[in-house]
Structure 1
């Protein structure tokens, strides 16, 4: 009997241990099954397949394919992690919309890059809380920036370790130098001086028959707002009125004045008449071809990429110059949202390989991982000579970090050349010089549907005001419609919760 009992007990223990092991990494589990980086799949076993969907990183991009193939080899050699990345391609068009269609259709990759639209997915429990993974990480916890920590504390589903970088406007140096109005603009970038600069660009056409217009954007006015919002006093999401209460900036008189200015630019042919239908690629193409003189780009590496491509197509004299934000009621590139990451990488709560997915994140935060992510491929984007890394022109014109860019890069080999060129460096400095925090908040779940409808209402009215389909005398009608769509309730909530 004792032998039978002992066998029975052992069998029960084996069953329990097996069940616990199975459940520790089951879909929807909120805890990692082991400390990231401390336990890995057997490198000699079949690889773990990690599906990843990431804007611009599809199978049609040979650099992306090579990056993830190189990352697979590095993970196996350095971490003993045997993974195979499967890049998920999306259709052309709006990335956020196409991604939501993919996710809501039931295809949920292990690693997901979001650029909007993540909140409704996280509220369905489809995104993993990354807090315990970060706490147990080897490397990620040491490169988190203060603003990352603030955002993760309130919304722990997206990770995006990058410098604080607003969008900054740029123009070709040769065109800037050819304008009489450029000195006044750089010395005192008032709204009027910006207007005069735009007007002279279109009238003088320094590119022969170009530019056709001074300014373009991708799909809406959000990018243009980085230049002008603060000048019109739109320097926070919620504006404090004289009576001490708050109103939403987009229904304020300041907004009306700004839209009147944009309407003026549109009517005089200074703003791209097709800005509403432009995508990011057609916007950039218009800039490189000279159809547009000024665009905005994310400060830092993206500005360097613009600079490299512009010089490649138009010569070294077409190097880019970062323009200052317009000055008026205030000056800046807009307040920075610290409630949550506006974009970033997430891990699906439904993934069967969450630990492996985060171990990828953690490796890319290590010195060896940073070498690949930040510098590209040896002998293609950089060379090592005399114990130093020297970056080449291809690095500056092509390479960008797909994952993490902490302010301080810890490299096992010292850098001889800087990570950023002059335009990228000056754009980051400008963004830092004008940094302020926003007073917005994460919209409560009960208001989200209304909030989306209210924002769509604003976009519709704003576009019609700018293009002249609606007269700005109807702005009060828009405010009434916005309040009726939920604005009254959300404004009450704001006044009760903004400290």
Structure 2
């Protein structure tokens, strides 16, 4: 499939090559505006909230920057966004601005994405808003921009349940693996919400990555490639990984880990949390935790406001090492666009004080009011609003905020993530290894799932390691050691 996609891209490039040196167009619409086409996940012309947001952005650009822009939102079909986007791009339909959530590297490898470095150097606002991890990622991969807090996931529980539990204090004072187990066990055997609530201590959306955010580093899985015996070994084939999977198998067998976690989506995971079926879930630090907090209080009352839990502590501690090879998601500009400069001016405006008022605060009268001479954020803001683009750490609106942008627990989640910040040693694999790597990752998913659910004994992990090495792991490990040494 990958080779087929690359062939289609190559065919497209033959026709696109002649236009790769296009200059900025001055073509205008009848009203004097310039159309900029943009594709973003969940932002469609059929979504009234999307239309309203981009109309507000058009108005702001015109009033504040004298840029007369008309956004054309590209309708995306339902399904896997990365796959659907790649199909769109390979058809030759490449919007001016593109939000990627995976699948961008093969597009960048075909020279279809703009190097943002010179634009950022000339920017009015963005260059001063970049976080340290943004700068490192852009140095390595200058095609995606995503000025957001670190995306590590943090665990939360209902605050009223937390307060009722006898194991809560020990967990907060000393969040060892054993104390986490005791906390999960109490949730299951002495449910603080009454009989059967919660039904299980933890649930996740489709895989174990959300559980890994709590436990990986405590088992010594502190980076993608672990330094051992003078060399490096991939963490998923390490003795530490086997030890962690044994722990997960125990959680599953004892009913602490939701047996339906494999089939849950993000919405059913969250519903289980709000409905009291699951005690603990994880969410991206910051705004997502704020949304969880708002919806939990809306569903169960103010006393149910969420409590953020610490990462487990053992051989290490943290919510996972931060990948600085590239942005995992972000906004790109098409190198084929005739409006590259204009597209970047839009991104730069979104980092300005005026742009941040639109992106961070939403719509006046709906998400905030200013009647008192202060910006008073509404319940709708806390429950629904999120920045489509940038969330730099420093944001000072032109009026004082009556209430903070984030709840106390959302701020706590961001602080914890930053306190435990550690860079990963992951690197971008050459194209020749990608197909094998994907197969090896799928092999891991198969074995780890079967071990956790008890379909395979733990000792089958050793068979997995041998298969992983035979599937290309040996060669990639040799390459990794060349890179990391």
Structure 1: distance between partners of 2:252 and 2:155: 18
* TM-score (normalizing by structure 2): 0.91
Q: Distance in 2 between matches of 1:182 and 1:27?
A: 62
Distance 1:334 1:266 in 2: 22
Q: Quote the RMSD (CA, aligned, Å).
A: 2.2
Q: 1:233 aligns with which of 212, 217, 220?
A: 220
1:301, distance to aligned residue in structure 2 (A): 1.1
Q: Pick from 35, 52, 63: which aligns with 1:49?
A: 35
Alpha-carbon contact 2:100-2:329 (below 8 Å) kept: yes
| Alignment check: 8 A CA contact 1:43 1:76 kept | no
CA shift, 1:226, in A, is 0.5
Out of 105, 119, 130, the residue aligned to residue 119 of structure 1 is 105
Partner of 2:9: none
**Residues 49 and 84 in structure 1, CA contact (< 8 A), matched pair in contact too:** yes
Structure 2 unaligned residues grouped into runs of 5+:
1-16
Give, in whole Å, the separation in 2 of the partners of 1:43 and 1:413: 36
Shift, 1:274, TM fit: 1.8
**Is 1:144–2:130 an aligned residue pair?**
yes
CA distance in 2, matches of 1:255, 1:93: 32
Aligned to 1:496, what secondary structure does the other structure show?
A: helix
- How far the C-alpha of 1:42 sits from its partner, in A, is 6.6
Tell me the distance in 1 between the aligned counterparts of 2:198 and 2:248: 18
User: Which range moves more in the overlay, 116-125 or 83-92?
Assistant: 83-92
Contact 2:23 2:338 in 1 (8 A): no
Structure 1 CA distance for aligned equivalents of residues 27 and 390 of structure 2 = 24
The structure-2 alpha-carbon separation of the partners of 1:273 and 1:109, relative to structure 1 and needing over 3 Å to count, comes to farther
**Secondary structure of the corresponding residue to residue 72 of structure 2:** strand
**Correspondent of 1:333 among 309, 313, 319:** 319
**Alpha-carbon distance between aligned partners in 2 of 1:88 and 1:206, rounded to the nearest angstrom:** 47
Match of residue 458 from structure 1? 444
In the TM superposition, residue 290 of structure 1 has moved relative to its aligned partner by 1.6
Between Structure 1 and Structure 2, how many residues are aligned?
468
In the aligned structure 2, how far is the partner of 1:434 from the partner of 1:416?
A: 30
Q: Could you list the per-position Cα deviations for residues 341-391 of structure 1 after superposition, in whole angstroms to 9, with x for gaps in the alignment?
A: 111111122333222221211111111101110111112212224543222
Distance 2:121 2:60 in 1: 24
Q: In the alignment, what sits opposite 2:359?
A: 373
**Residue ranges of structure 1 left out of the alignment (5+ in a row):** 1-24, 35-39
Contact conserved, 2:39 with 2:97, CA < 8 A, in 1? yes
The Cα shift of 1:33 comes to 4.7
Q: Distance in 1 between matches of 2:104 and 2:265?
A: 21
- TM normalised by structure 1 equals 0.89
**Counterpart position of 2:10:** none
Contact 1:42 1:82 in 2 (8 A): no
Could you list the per-position Cα deviations for residues 9-29 of structure 1 after superposition, in whole angstroms to 9, with x for gaps in the alignment? xxxxxxxxxxxxxxxx98544
Q: CA deviation at 1:173?
A: 0.5
Is residue 76 of structure 2 the alignment partner of residue 95 of structure 1? no
1:13 corresponds in structure 2 to: none
Q: Compared with structure 1, are the counterparts of its residues 102 and 281 closer, same or farther at alpha carbon in structure 2 (3 Å cutoff)?
A: farther
Residue 421 (structure 2) pairs with residue 470 (structure 1): no
Deviation, 1:269, is 1.6
CA distance in 2, matches of 1:271, 1:58: 36
Say yes or no: does 1:345 pair with 2:343: no
- Between 420-429 and 95-104, the greater mean CA deviation after superposition: 95-104
